[in-house]
Amino acid sequence: MGLTQKVIDEYLGINSEIIKGPDAVCEQMIRHWVEIIEDGNPLYSDPEYANNSKYGGIIAPPMQVQVYIMEQQWPKADRAPSPMENFVEVLDAAGYTSIVATQQEQEYFKPMKLGDEISYTISVDKVSDKKQTARGPGYFVTFLWTYYNQHNELVCEQSFTILAYNSN
């Protein structure tokens, strides 16, 4: 089966259902993150400093947003496949079975505070024309994640681009 523009268009711009992350923003995950990254920002770890800041308390490092939406590996979450998952299956069926990540960007809007519950939607944002790359023929596909807190406030937008290619 070939990957036609008509097939691609069926997936573009369609948001998933809202998917709730399994974990609330918490001190323990923030602590693990800042220890590994060696980030001494007192907004992440010093309650007295953070309480006197414009945020009024501890916040999570913004780039940590994906930590709170990572699904458990077992048992698998019971939800409909996202547009990203469906489109990757289409790519696979068309022979583009190899994937490499090429770019990720995040833009932050609202800080994540202790206790916040992060949810997201995901969509297929862009698909390039077929390209001949050093790895083989393929498509650059950009997915868009939109993250919200429990008040439906926009926390972050993230684009993530992959190259799906045929290595044969």
Convert the pLDDT of each residue in 96-127 to its tens digit.
999 999 999 999 999 999 999 999 999 999 99
pLDDT in tens, 139-158: 999 999 999 999 999 999 99
Domain locations in the chain as residue ranges? 5-24+64-165
pLDDT digit string, tens, across residues 74-91: 898 888 899 999 999 999
Please tell me whether residue 26 adopts helix, strand or coil conformation.
coil
- Binned at pLDDT 50, 70 and 90, residue 34 comes out as very high
pTM of the model: 0.93
Helices (H), the chain: 5-9, 27-37, 42-45, 47-51, 83-93
Residues 65-102, buried b or exposed e (16+ Cβ, 10 A)?
A: bbbbbeeeeeeeeeeeebbbebbbebbeebbbebeeee
Classify domain 5-24+64-165 at the CATH topology level: Thiol Ester Dehydrase; Chain A (3.10.129)
Q: Is the predicted pLDDT of residue 2 greater than 80, yes or no?
A: no
